[in-house]
């Protein structure tokens, strides 16, 4: 039952983040992260939700809140990359890197933008 509930929650979150005109997608993501953390604290999916929430907060201009979520989300995904299904692994890592590049761009940090672009290029150069 818990996995079904979490999957439905993720579907709702995806719908909310796809339409930024709806209010507070970050609240749904925060709840999703809370559930995911309780059920599977070290799962790559938990780190993906963390990165999703970080992006939502960044888009809402809540920079201070987004930074640790984006960084920890990427680090967790990267550290658990071997547990991500091969068919989606590269895509999940690229999304997290793109979010960190957006963060660096929003903070006007050219060195960080370059760092994350190089990481993205490296991911693009690797075979699936």
Distance separating alpha carbons of residues 9 and 14, to the nearest angstrom: 9
pLDDT tens for 5-22 read 667 766 766 665 555 444
Domains of the chain: 2-125 (1.25.40.10)
A 10 A CB-CB count for 70 gives: 24
Higher pLDDT, 26 or 107: 107
Distance separating alpha carbons of residues 75 and 96, to the nearest angstrom: 9
Distance separating alpha carbons of residues 8 and 42, to the nearest angstrom: 20
Report yes or no on whether pTM surpasses 0.75: yes
Residue 26 — pLDDT band, cuts 50, 70, 90? low
Residues contacting 11, CB < 8 A, separation 6+: none
Distance separating alpha carbons of residues 62 and 106, to the nearest angstrom: 11
With contact defined as beta carbons under 8 Å apart, do 86 and 38 qualify?
no
Give the CA dihedral 23, 98, 81, 77, nearest 10 degrees. Answer: -40
With contact defined as beta carbons under 8 Å apart, do 49 and 76 qualify?
no
Residue 18 φ/ψ, nearest 5 degrees: -70, -25
């Amino acid at each position: 039952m818990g996995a079904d509930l979490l999957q439905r929650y993720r579907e709702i979150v995806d719908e909310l983040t796809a339409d930024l005109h709806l209010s507070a997608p970050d609240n749904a993501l925060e709840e999703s992260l809370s559930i995911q953390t309780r059920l599977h604290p070290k799962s790559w999916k938990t780190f993906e939700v963390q990165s999703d929430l970080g992006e939502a907060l960044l888009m809402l201009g809540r920079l201070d809140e987004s930074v640790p979520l984006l960084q920890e989300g990427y680090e967790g995904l990267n550290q658990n990359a071997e547990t991500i299904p091969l068919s989606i692994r590269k895509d999940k890592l690229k999304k997290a890197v793109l979010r960190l590049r957006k963060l660096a761009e929003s903070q006007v940090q050219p060195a960080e933008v370059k760092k994350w672009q190089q990481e993205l290029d490296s991911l693009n150069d690797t075979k699936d």
